Structure 1
Amino acid sequence: MEIRRISLIAPKPTVPLGASHYLVMLFWGLPLIGTILKERGYEVRVFFEIVKPIDWEFVYSSQAVCFQTLACTANRTFEFIRRIKANNPGAVTVIGGTLPTAVPEDMLKRCDFVVRQEGDESLPDLLDALQRGHDLRTVPGISYKVDETEYIHTPDRPMVANIDTIPDLSLVHGWKELNRWKLLLRGKMQMHVVQTSRGCPYACSFCIVPMMYNAHTYRVRSIDSVITEIKTKIDESDCRRFMFVDNYFGGYREHAKKLLRRIIAEGLQFRCFAFCRLEIYKDPEFLGLLKQANFDPLFIGFESFNDSTLQSFEKHQTAKRIIESIKVIKEHDLRISGSFIIGSDDDTVETIRQSMDAARRNGIDNINIFPLSAMPTRKPGVVPRRRMILLDYDFGSGNHVTIFPKQMKPSTLQKEYIRAYRLFNNPGRALDAVRNGNLQAGVERLFAALAHREIIADIEKRYLPRLFEIEQGYYDANERLIEERLPPDGIINREAILVPEEESPYDVNLQHDPDMLLLLGDNGHHAHPPSSGMISQDAVSEMVRKHTLDMALRKCYGNLLS
């Protein structure tokens, strides 16, 4: 088939979602993929609904339409695919992102292909194979359906080594038309995203990063590439708000320091939000550079002040270290946006409230709270399948309780989430910040309060009543879970196609690529990057051709095929 025109689409969330209430901020992935495809000669346009309505005439005339899909954008993705197929039945539809990587079979009920994990190389190779008529089983990192009962999951692709491509934002429909005055009229602000590294050296049990980038992998981008991108974005928009979307900025500390020194030396004036870990408090030079380069606030995953919970999360930190780190970071005049996970097996209502009180007492400026969540993927989850709740993808936004906690009802955990946000994000605390001379913090707290007011209202209206209903009969009088009463497959939408739990564990050793533990070169490239590209058809045995379980493919080949 011939593929010349490609549409890449990021639908807007179907539920209220945090900063999207007031920020116009692009996903990193789609403009990057669009740029890679453009460099391969395709005509590409990238659509973000939060920027401008989709040009459906262009989409209907595209031979391939690809989506970056989160749980909270899944239903809108499915709606768009139905619309596209009705107008252009021959269009190839592809879904990628965290949700499709977790549950590819269920996505394939609606689309033609799923690209798992990173799409930088998998999507271009898939499109090339379709055009050339090559055997799709030779394309690593994709899933597709042969018929109504047989699915093919090709082996995972090794992680991308070169991450220096600078996204071309001219591909984004309507992006050049944005300006601060138009945004203010919409009650919005613009924020740029930049990625300086991928992956994380850690593998916290609750986190999706190991699923997307394989555990313990970490790659850095060349400093020249990052600096060029920052300058270009400032020059083209005059917007000086940035977010570094690294999973851990500072995971390779010396590289991060070199970048910060370069930002300072070149006099780049912008404000940046970055994701870090508390270990940075041991490095006063790094903290000083962050302050000098105007990185404020820092998003740090503390998760809990309960040591038992921290141990179960494999965070390699204690409450004592958290308190010490907050003190040291604050001494460097850096604000902290603390992240907390609530609902572990060691959590009670009392421990959750103690953590929230400790967060306020120790001076955390802003708070981000996430109920512990689980998705019925092939990887062993933080809770067994029977304790999972998946009523609708709308409720997979990170704000909804999606498990049966051990020591409280789901509705109780959801109410503690609401209580904590109301405690932290309210107009009174915003006013306190302004009175203390920090107008920026006051504005951020006010916007956060407005955003979470909408989120909480939606949860109380649409979700809490359903939790009250489904939790009946599964808890004793003290709200202790009676786990043996739960159905074996949990409370999951019956239409979802999920792999049986006994077939779910991957052999994690086969996902582990020792070459990608840390990339030490100044240009961000490993001296011996892992191989990539198409799998030789000779390497795909007859057993693999017939076997549809991704687990079997991994056990046979892992990430070693080249």
Structure 2
Amino acid sequence: MDIVLINPGDRKQVYQNLGEDYAAIEPPFWIAVIGAYLRNNGFDVAVIDANAENISPQETAEKANRLQPLLSAVIVYGSQPSASTQNMTVAGRICKALKTNTSSKVAIGGLHPSALPKRTLEEEEVDFVIEGEGTFTLEHLLNILRSGSKDYSSIPGLWYFDNGAIRNNPRPSLIKDLDKMVPIAAWDLLPMERYRAHNWHCFDDINNRMPYGAIYTSLGCPYNCVFCCINAPFGKPGIRYRSPELVVAEIGLLTSKYGIKNIKIVDELFVFNEKHYMSIVDLIIRKGYNLNMWAYARIDTIKQEHFKKMKKAGINWLALGIESASVVVREGVNKRTRVKDIIKIIRMIQSEGIRVGANYIFGLPDDNLETMQETLDMAMGINSELANFYCAMAYPGSELYDIAIKEGWELPKEWYGYSQHSYETFPLPTKYISAREVLKFRDDAFHKYSSSPIYLNMIENKFGKMVKEHIQEMTKTRLKRKLLES
């Protein structure tokens, strides 16, 4: 075996008891894409999804050892800002187990390692850190390892030790031909029977959350929000596209071979380039697939005239980054949408039968208890089918992280402290209130929203009594927080 690609995860650590039934178990699309590209270029590839299989670092290493790979590569990608750093603790443990239990070289890559490559090489028990998208780097590295050479100086995007000194090579150019470099994923390498959609994604059919697929139609984001690290693997804001024909061919494979109906469009911003996303919508309608999809959009890029077609194609949910009700708070993080526009757009989306997942952040730099209450009041007034409440975190790779380091703000002691749902979570303080106050407000806000009679009545009217009871059961689980115990 040339390479084993490993998807790390520790659902108990990251989600506490919510990981058992409510959280999604998402297929690692980027790992499957890298696997497909390497396999297409003559390499023997295997994948271990330690997250989906829910196995320990030791068990992961033992599985890798049985395959005797030249290279074991732990890819800590994540498809949202919070999803990479929170998995670095278990990723580090897997790397350590690999070094102890296998004879292979060990590499680590993904969003967090790209944001902090030098620190990752210094702190983790690895031979290599991959900075950037990873595809070119792994291809070149495998060729060198096959040859028996120990000269890594020509491998783009690679960090490594040379006689004890840290060396790094410039990143490769960004992938231009996404159809070639981001081919149809190697789904056959994944344990497809283990993946599960978010509970809310399937409110229309709550007992059928499996099977589940997740695909990219584009890479990157053209915006530069202060709190977001999503562009860390790419080095700059920007967006590149797979062809609509390839995307729909992949959706067709997921439906025909794996019986998948529930699909997440992973793109940081799917509803942006009208020609791109509407071409995909039109092709899906033409194919007649029966889908239940969700995707990310922005209030200021979405167009009402497309809602009917999007719904017909099976886009049943749109996730919107609202962040805050306060103009001052939003402007402080480069989000300038007006509240009246937010409410107007949400009502238009809902009028066409598309559900809204509204995302809010408490604890942005200019927040105080009054502005956070203003945001919660707006959320409850909007009363969307889903409201995600986050605490502001200084994720490595974001401008907010750089500010936090410069200002000396206290950050989580362990990487899993960046998880929104973990016991050890440690959000940022604001200019006016403490991290403890932010976290307490967030947790109280979640329960106030989810147990509101207005919200629960709306849920029962739209989705039935079973979903209402499902939410009521979920809200019985109160997350334990170390910060709130002190």
Shorter-chain TM-score above 0.5: yes
Q: Deviation of residue 346 (structure 1)?
A: 1.6
1:65 corresponds in structure 2 to: 72
Name the CA shift for 1:335/1:175 in 2 (closer, same or farther; >3 Å).
closer
2:81 corresponds in structure 1 to: none
Q: Deviation of residue 99 (structure 1)?
A: 1.5
The answer on 1:199 being equivalent to 2:199 is: no
Q: Deviation of residue 117 (structure 1)?
A: 2.5
2:234 corresponds in structure 1 to: 213
2:14 corresponds in structure 1 to: 15
Name the CA shift for 1:434/1:336 in 2 (closer, same or farther; >3 Å).
closer
CA deviation digits over 1:328-349, x for unaligned, max 9? 2223332110111221222111
Residues 4 and 71, structure 2, Cα contact 8 Å, conserved in 1:
yes
How far, CA to CA, are the matches of 1:147 and 1:134 in structure 2? 11
Q: Deviation of residue 243 (structure 1)?
A: 0.2
2:211 corresponds in structure 1 to: 190
2:364 corresponds in structure 1 to: 344
Where 1:346 maps in the other structure, the secondary structure is: coil
**Higher mean Cα deviation, 266-275 or 332-341?**
332-341
2:35 corresponds in structure 1 to: 34
How far, CA to CA, are the matches of 2:285 and 2:145 in structure 1? 47
Residues 161 and 167, structure 2, Cα contact 8 Å, conserved in 1:
yes
Where 1:368 maps in the other structure, the secondary structure is: strand
How far, CA to CA, are the matches of 1:204 and 1:179 in structure 2? 30
Residues 10 and 49, structure 1, Cα contact 8 Å, conserved in 2:
yes
Residues 24 and 189, structure 1, Cα contact 8 Å, conserved in 2:
no
Residues 298 and 337, structure 1, Cα contact 8 Å, conserved in 2:
yes
Q: Deviation of residue 188 (structure 1)?
A: 6.8
CA deviation digits over 1:378-423, x for unaligned, max 9? 9674633101412111111244333232211111101011012112
How far, CA to CA, are the matches of 2:194 and 2:361 in structure 1? 38
Q: Please point out which of 132, 144, 167 is paired with 2:160.
A: 144
How far, CA to CA, are the matches of 1:154 and 1:47 in structure 2? 28
CA deviation digits over 1:129-166, x for unaligned, max 9? 33342742322222223355x32232222221222200
1:99 corresponds in structure 2 to: 112
Higher relative contact order (CA 8 A, sep 6+): 1
The answer on 1:404 being equivalent to 2:429 is: yes
Name the CA shift for 1:366/1:116 in 2 (closer, same or farther; >3 Å).
same
Q: Please point out which of 326, 330, 334 is paired with 1:310.
A: 330
2:441 corresponds in structure 1 to: 416
Letter in 1 for 2:64: V
How far, CA to CA, are the matches of 2:474 and 2:4 in structure 1? 30
Residues 195 and 212, structure 2, Cα contact 8 Å, conserved in 1:
no
1:327 corresponds in structure 2 to: 347
2:187 corresponds in structure 1 to: 169
5+ long unaligned stretches in structure 2:
77-83, 198-204
2:79 corresponds in structure 1 to: none
Residues 427 and 449, structure 1, Cα contact 8 Å, conserved in 2:
no
Q: Deviation of residue 449 (structure 1)?
A: 6.5
Residues 131 and 159, structure 2, Cα contact 8 Å, conserved in 1:
yes
TM-score (norm 1): 0.73
Q: Deviation of residue 19 (structure 1)?
A: 6.8
The answer on 1:155 being equivalent to 2:175 is: no
Q: Deviation of residue 426 (structure 1)?
A: 4.1
How far, CA to CA, are the matches of 2:439 and 2:70 in structure 1? 44
Residues 198 and 219, structure 1, Cα contact 8 Å, conserved in 2:
yes
How far, CA to CA, are the matches of 1:380 and 1:438 in structure 2? 38
Where 1:383 maps in the other structure, the secondary structure is: helix
CA deviation digits over 1:204-228, x for unaligned, max 9? 1111123233433111111121111
The answer on 1:43 being equivalent to 2:44 is: yes
Percent of aligned pairs with the same residue?
22
Letter in 2 for 1:29: W
Name the CA shift for 1:453/1:155 in 2 (closer, same or farther; >3 Å).
farther
CA deviation digits over 1:104-126, x for unaligned, max 9? 23322321111122112222122
Name the CA shift for 1:287/1:279 in 2 (closer, same or farther; >3 Å).
farther
How far, CA to CA, are the matches of 1:431 and 1:364 in structure 2? 11
Residues 94 and 115, structure 1, Cα contact 8 Å, conserved in 2:
yes
Q: Please point out which of 96, 116, 137 is paired with 1:122.
A: 137
1:297 corresponds in structure 2 to: 317
How far, CA to CA, are the matches of 2:428 and 2:472 in structure 1? 26
Letter in 2 for 1:405: T
Q: Deviation of residue 375 (structure 1)?
A: 4.0
Q: Deviation of residue 32 (structure 1)?
A: 1.0
Name the CA shift for 1:370/1:157 in 2 (closer, same or farther; >3 Å).
farther
Where 1:209 maps in the other structure, the secondary structure is: coil
Where 1:94 maps in the other structure, the secondary structure is: strand
Q: Please point out which of 67, 70, 91 is paired with 1:77.
A: 91
How far, CA to CA, are the matches of 2:381 and 2:371 in structure 1? 15
2:254 corresponds in structure 1 to: 233
Where 1:136 maps in the other structure, the secondary structure is: coil
Letter in 1 for 2:450: N
Q: Deviation of residue 58 (structure 1)?
A: 4.5
Name the CA shift for 1:438/1:77 in 2 (closer, same or farther; >3 Å).
same
Q: Deviation of residue 294 (structure 1)?
A: 2.1
Residues 86 and 415, structure 2, Cα contact 8 Å, conserved in 1:
yes
CA deviation digits over 1:409-441, x for unaligned, max 9? 11110101101211223496775245314249x
1:245 corresponds in structure 2 to: 266
How far, CA to CA, are the matches of 2:222 and 2:397 in structure 1? 22
Residues 425 and 446, structure 1, Cα contact 8 Å, conserved in 2:
no
Name the CA shift for 1:40/1:428 in 2 (closer, same or farther; >3 Å).
farther
Residues 33 and 120, structure 1, Cα contact 8 Å, conserved in 2:
yes
CA deviation digits over 1:492-534, x for unaligned, max 9? xxxxxxxxxxxxxxxxxxxxxxxxxxxxxxxxxxxxxxxxxxx
Where 2:52 maps in the other structure, the secondary structure is: coil
Please tell me the root mean square deviation across aligned C-alpha atoms, in Å: 2.9
Largest Rg, 1 or 2? 1
The answer on 1:288 being equivalent to 2:295 is: no
Name the CA shift for 1:121/1:24 in 2 (closer, same or farther; >3 Å).
same
CA deviation digits over 1:433-472, x for unaligned, max 9? 45314249x73x7666766765x523x2x3434xx4xxxx
Residues 372 and 401, structure 1, Cα contact 8 Å, conserved in 2:
no
How far, CA to CA, are the matches of 2:213 and 2:410 in structure 1? 35
Letter in 2 for 1:32: V
Residues 25 and 190, structure 1, Cα contact 8 Å, conserved in 2:
no
Name the CA shift for 1:179/1:346 in 2 (closer, same or farther; >3 Å).
closer
5+ long unaligned stretches in structure 1:
469-562
How far, CA to CA, are the matches of 1:65 and 1:228 in structure 2? 30
Residues 144 and 153, structure 1, Cα contact 8 Å, conserved in 2:
yes
Name the CA shift for 1:451/1:25 in 2 (closer, same or farther; >3 Å).
farther
Where 2:249 maps in the other structure, the secondary structure is: helix
Residues 433 and 439, structure 1, Cα contact 8 Å, conserved in 2:
no
Name the CA shift for 1:147/1:360 in 2 (closer, same or farther; >3 Å).
farther
Letter in 2 for 1:269: N
Where 2:138 maps in the other structure, the secondary structure is: helix
